[in-house]
Amino acid sequence: MIHMIVLATRNQGKVREMREILRDFPVEIRSLNDFGPIPEVDEDGATFDDNAYKKAAFTAKVLGLPAMADDSGLVVPALHGAPGVHSARYAGKEAADRDNIDKLLREMAGLTDRRAAFECVISLAVPSGPALTYVGRCEGEIAPAPSGGEGFGYDPVFYYPPFGKTFAELSMEEKNRVSHRGAALREMVAEFDKVLTWLRLRLAEAKAPKPDHRQFENNDWSEAKS
């Protein structure tokens, strides 16, 4: 049996990535681009888990198909967990990556605790509501200044000690081996056979039960009153 899973995104890069990762499993990966207009989900959750589940559950319910979504960001202990769920709009709703980086460095000025982590949560939900959650995390530090021309977001200031480079100085292959999103995806893929079993059971539960025709066995319809 082939399961269709909808990625709650219009990012074709993520779609290609997921198709490649799950190529050996009986799944068909679709995206929001394969369907009609779907309202945007307001990512107003307090945690990455909240936002990932909200997107996945909403998409699954609207389309009547299993759906997968992720949410991720940068967590800095010295800033009480900021930027956190506001990572993409840390310097404002229309802020560019450089604006967010500049604000982060200003707030880190003079702080000796430079610890930071990228976190990612992936949620796979079925239309009836239940979901599976996978979490990935990558520990690093905030560099004093941007370095490197690869990647996006906070990559130029996220220093990864084991490689002695920022994420923006890593090749795509190096980054995928250690990234937070890669870690969450590997955790999911490692048990994807169990995921498929879970999907089959949850989808079967959601179907309306067939009528029990035995309740009509003793009815004598010839005597039915008009």
pLDDT digits (tens, 9 = 90+) for 78-128: 999 999 999 999 999 899 999 999 999 999 999 999 999 999 999 999 999
CATH number for the domain that contains residue 137: 3.90.950.10
Asked whether residue 183 is assigned to any structural domain, the reply reads yes
* Backbone torsion region of residue 138, taken as left when φ is above 0, otherwise alpha when ψ lies between -120 and 50, otherwise beta: beta
Predicted local distance difference test score (pLDDT) of residue 221:
41
Residues designated catalytic: 71
Over residues 2-13, mean pLDDT? 90
Structural domain harbouring 180 = 3-202
CB-CB contact of 123 with 68 (8 Å) = yes
Asked whether residue 221 is assigned to any structural domain, the reply reads no
**In terms of pTM, does the model score above 0.85?**
no
Asked whether residue 225 is assigned to any structural domain, the reply reads no
Asked whether residue 216 is assigned to any structural domain, the reply reads no
CB-CB contact of 126 with 206 (8 Å) = yes
- Bridge partners of 217, per DSSP, are none
Over residues 32-37, mean pLDDT? 91
Asked whether residue 132 is assigned to any structural domain, the reply reads yes
* Tokens of residue 55, six digits: 């997107």
Number of domains comprising the chain: 1
